[in-house]
Amino acid sequence: MSLLEIVNVTRSFGGLTAVDGVSLTVAPGELVSVIGPNGAGKTTLFNLITGLDAPDAGEIRFEGRSIGGLPPERLAALGLARTFQHGRVFANLSVLDNVLLGAHTRLRAVRPQVPLVGPLVELALALVRPASVRAEEQRLRDEAREILTLFGERLLPRIDQPAYSLSYANRRRVEIARALALRPRLLLLDEPTAGMNPSETAEMLEIIRALKARGLTILLIEHKLELVMELSDRVVVMDDGRVIAEGAPELVRNDPAVIEAYLGHSTIGEAADAAPRELEAV
Amino acid sequence: MNDALLELREINTFYGPVQVHFDLSLSVGAGQIVCLLGGNASGKSTTMKIILGLLKPRSGEVLLDGEPITGLPTPQIVRRGVGSVPESRRLFPAMTVRENLMMGAYTREDRAAVREDFDRVLELFPRLRERLGQQAGTLSGGEQQMVAMARALMGRPRLICMDEPTMGLSPLYVERVLELIQAINRQGVTVFMVEQNASLALQIAHYGYVLQTGRIALAGPAHELLRNPQIRDAYLGGQVVRGA
Amino acid sequence: MNSFLDHTINGLIIGNIYALVAVGLALIFGVSNLINFAHGSVYMVGAYIGWVCVAALGTPLPLTLATVMAGCAVLGVAIERLGLRPLQGAPRIAPLLATIGISFVLDQLVQLIFSPDPRSLPSQLPSWRLQVGSGSIGALDLFVAAAGIASAALLYAFLRFTRLGAAVRATAQDRDAALQMGVDVNRVNQVVFAIASALGGLSGVLVGMYYNNIFPAMGFQATLKGFVAQLVGGAGNVPGAIAGSLLLGLIESYGIAILGTSYRNLFAFIILMAVLAWRPNGLFSAGRKLPPEPLTGTFVAPSRPLSVPRWALAAAVGAALILPLVWRDSYVVQTLTNAWLYGMLALSLTLVAGTAGQMSLGHAGLLAIGGYASALLALDLGVPVPLAVLLAGLITAALGTLLVFPAFRLRGHYIAIATLAIGEIVNLVILNWEGLTRGPIGVAGIPPLELFGQPLVDAASVYWVALAVMVGLALLQWRLTQFHLGRTLRAIREDDVAARAFGISLNRYKGLAFAVSGFAAGLSGAITAHMYSYINHETFNTQISVLALTMVILGGLGNIVGAILGAVALIGLPELFRGLAEYRMLVYGLVLLLLVRFRPQGVMGTV
């Protein structure tokens, strides 16, 4: 039974079809990567899954229920957590507050989703703060600290510092911690290592590997192919809005259609001690 | 032959209280392709801002052909023959490709020579001919990179500064961009490029610097750097350090 | 005589005039992403320069216009150079607030020099009229049309065919990239401000002539009309601004023909709300745009708030409590009472603008709702005053939230405009709904505050009531923003896209923030009404909204102690310098400007 099912989804902007009849599934516990050249439609697809955009046609199902067109708030309540391409943390809030906000949907106080009554109840609870509310807050704080230990000494010593004062790599780690606080059933990572140097990338690789080992289901967009090949159970390759290949990493890597569209005849990945040469004119 | 066209001497840069460059010194020989490598917190993008006058160093000098340009307003630096291919292209999205190219020649008075350069640039970037009337914002990332480079050339610069020219491009376009950089260099333009992907940059550069948290950690001819295990351990794009 | 054609022509002419203002706003917004609240003041200055030329100097029409345009161009350049250029590195809210401060200062200066009374501005044109179908056109109509069309054509040619015009367009699209092409962006900014201000001034003098009437407060309406027109056409879009202006002119003209002149401005505001609610990117766009990546979008200046120890706060409250017993000067007591009432308003605003990040410029409207609700409940329904005040608070919470609701989907600067418009709408409704509010006559004979059946008439008792309510509200607000609720509101302020991705419903929490805020403001308005015993639609005007904003920024956005301090400072200090009473508004404008320039995080720091 798939956790996430995308069936024949299409999205066009004016004359441009960004996503063209794309289908893919993610089974529980799997790590699936979506790769593809610039403009392949990966980000649009992500936006469709995470509710920032709605498909023109096709279905998106999460745990069997249709989620296409649902706003991001509802998806969060269903157990979908995501990170953003350049790291959208809450800049003036502390690391702790950032992580605590990830757990927002789990708070008892926000449960009554009934319009009008719900917010008033929440207001009352915030004012009165019965023991159950206080206990929950404490529990969540302890949990946040626990999540932060996943990142070693990177974040814990800075737990009360505002996010804007952190380095770029640390901000991206805070983002992942925040997503974990939601206790997601599906974690969507949008280029988690964008802008990171190789040693930071290697650290992130280990963190994602550890999350996978915990049984987390992950959907990943990435440009760094070595990362993708290391981590993925399955790789989905997009080009021009369509899925052009799908399968185990080694199979995809050797698929001629993929090599043609994506890898070209570039020298990426070849041994670095080849002597520098004049690249032949194409 | 290798007189420095661009020189940075003992640059110290601060963002508020945070120091980003520590006595940074480097030089770019005339006619060369020189690359500045480093990870995300290394300060390499800030270096570009210093050179272009978008940011002022607290101390130190930037010299263009021996003339100090430290802290001059950007338009003046551009007028002295420095062209820019900014990070993420930064084309003018609602202007056509032609208008973008002409903006590259904004500071030039010699209209006849500008027209000549326009034709020459189109010879170097033939695919742009069919796109001249198209709005720049509608092009793909790779095509935009082409326009950005052509636009910089329109200023007839002596030195082109390129900030991460291969970022976000598919491998096919990465190849094209690297070839074009070499072609531009063959025409006599000095190229200074900031890159995160060391292996790509070092393949076409003559000389390289590696920046690590605001200090030059390594420097040398490109082919030597490529073989230097210290770089390979930290920076070679695509080589993830295992078991770190 | 008043035919459909007449109204159409009238509407188009007025639209033409609005276009001159709207185009200027569009240019400025396009190039610097700034909503220039001072533009209306430049328009007004243009009208007065015109008056000086015509009435005092007797210059011929072409010279008058040239002088107006040149003078306003210089003013525009000065505003850009002195008021806005120094703010280039500041958080985005700073220039917005600076233009508000500048407009305050300009309006007050002109008022001090020329007096607030309207004066006439004759047009010097011959008074013949041409028959056109069933309507007629006069010389002035033609002249205005010609001026408008000529300006539009020249502007188009400039932007399209000149190098500087290309530089303007390039800067509007990507300022940094334009810099790197060698464009002198500062010069572009100045050119744009000069052109926009010249057009604005021209519009002002033409309006003055068209209605034969100018007055210092005329700029405010122009700014708002210009915004509406600009928004309708798509912000920053020059042809759109022209189209929007013509549309606005027509709607106003037809609307007045049907409903009467007092509704004139209501149309503009209603269109504004409609556009903001349904088509914030303008009528001509399909816009489903994604908001940009942040750490660029944070409104609030990063700062660590000054922490005040509990005992100090308790001591301050204690001192405030015993003050009327120790210092028997009833003037001081009354001034501080006023400060407590403003303190409640500041608390209310800092919750919404500071903690939740929704910049509201219409909070005076909430005061008005509270004041009128309580007054009418007590007078018309005989509700005992304490209950009336409480109910007024609740009514304001509910009604205020309902009114702002359409603006919840807006972000950044647009919220400021929307709330400004809503505040104006509230005042206009109060003015026009005579059956309920007695209209322009106002409500008199409002019963005084009372406690346990005893009316409170001495200054000290009212002081204590106001102080107690304010402290109570402060404690309430502090409690609410301490834990998850405060965190959630701040998340919305910091990055609403990320907030939504983690289940935070924007409508729910914005609604909560405005409801609590409305409650506090409603109480303040209600107590004020019973204290003054007479209120009308001008008691709670837009200037109060700006003053409240200044207090909040002075104290530090989101800072509860700061809000109260800001109120005390801005109400108390001018009283110390009694001679300055006339210049008070001017001082407020200057304070706002100085804060924005040198200390946007305020005295106590943002929270």
- C378 dihedral zone (left: phi>0; alpha: psi -120 to 50; beta): alpha
Higher pLDDT, C129 or B207: B207
Is the pLDDT at A276 greater than 50? The verdict is no
Q: How sure is the predictor about C345, in pLDDT bands with cuts at 50, 70 and 90?
A: very high
Predicted local confidence at residue A37, as pLDDT: 66
CA distance A259 to chain C (A): 32
Secondary structure class of A80 (helix, strand, coil): strand
Mean per-residue pLDDT of chain C: 88
Q: What angle do CA A122, A127, A130 make, to 5 degrees?
A: 85
* pTM to 2 decimal places: 0.82
| Partners of residue A66 on adjacent β-strands | A61
Q: What's the alpha-carbon Rg for chain C, to the nearest Å? A: 25
Ranges A31-40, C102-111, C142-151, C166-175: which has the least confidence = A31-40
Predicted local confidence at residue A38, as pLDDT: 58
Selection from C206, C230, C195 nearest residue C417 by Cα: C230
Ranges A256-270, C178-192, C264-278: which has the least confidence = A256-270
Is the pLDDT at A206 greater than 90? The verdict is yes
If you average pLDDT over residues C433-459, what whole number do you get? 89
Tell me the pLDDT tens digit for each residue of C197-212.
999 999 999 989 888 8
Residue whose token pair is 């005893």:
C454
Higher pLDDT, C478 or C577: C478
**Contacts B93 to C, Cβ<8 Å:** 173-174
Q: How sure is the predictor about C77, in pLDDT bands with cuts at 50, 70 and 90?
A: very high
Do residues C37 and C95 make contact, with C-beta atoms less than 8 angstroms apart?
Answer: no
Higher pLDDT, C297 or C572: C572
Predicted local confidence at residue A272, as pLDDT: 37
Cβ within 8 Å, pair C182-B155 = yes
**Distance between CA atoms of C554 and C599, rounded to whole angstroms?**
8
B59-64 and B4-15 as β-strands: parallel, antiparallel, unpaired? antiparallel
Predicted local confidence at residue C1, as pLDDT: 47
**Distance between CA atoms of C124 and C135, rounded to whole angstroms?**
23
CA distances from A23 to A11, A20, A245, A250, A253 (A): 13, 9, 11, 21, 20
Q: How sure is the predictor about A218, in pLDDT bands with cuts at 50, 70 and 90?
A: very high
- Give the orientation angle of helix C4-32 with respect to helix C238-259, to 10 degrees: 140
Q: Which tokens hold the place of C318?
A: 């204690």
Predicted local confidence at residue B234, as pLDDT: 43
Chain C positions contacting chain A at CB under 8 Å are 288, 290, 293-295, 298, 300, 302, 476, 479-480, 483-485, 487-488, 490-491, 493-495, 497-505, 508-509, 511-512, 515-516, 606
Is the pLDDT at C293 greater than 70? The verdict is no
- Chain A nearest-CA residue for B172: A264
Question: What number is the ipTM of this complex?
Answer: 0.90
DSSP B95: S
Higher pLDDT, C292 or B53: B53
If you average pLDDT over residues A48-52, what whole number do you get? 92
| Partners of residue B68 on adjacent β-strands | B63
Tell me the pLDDT tens digit for each residue of A58-91.
999 999 999 988 999 999 999 999 999 878 899 8
Chains in touch with C (3+ beta-carbon pairs under 8 Å) read A, B
If you average pLDDT over residues B106-133, what whole number do you get? 91
Is the pLDDT at C458 greater than 50? The verdict is yes
Predicted local confidence at residue C300, as pLDDT: 65
Q: What percent of chain C has pLDDT over 90?
A: 48
Higher pLDDT, C188 or C263: C188
Among A88, A89, A121, A172, pick the best mutation site for testing chain C contact (most C Cβ within 10 A): A88
- Chain A nearest-CA residue for C506: A73
CA distances from C410 to C11, C418, C496, C507 (A): 30, 9, 11, 11
Selection from C541, C259, C340, C287 nearest residue C426 by Cα: C541
CA C438 to chain centre: 26
**Distance between CA atoms of A46 and C374, rounded to whole angstroms?**
52
Of residues C302, C487, C508, nearest to A101 (C-beta): C487
Predicted local confidence at residue B211, as pLDDT: 85
Q: What's the alpha-carbon Rg for chain B, to the nearest Å? A: 18
Cβ within 8 Å, pair B40-A169 = yes
Mean per-residue pLDDT of chain B: 86
Cβ within 8 Å, pair B84-C169 = no
Tell me the pLDDT tens digit for each residue of A127-166.
999 999 999 999 999 999 999 999 989 999 999 999 988 8
**Distance between CA atoms of B11 and A244, rounded to whole angstroms?**
49
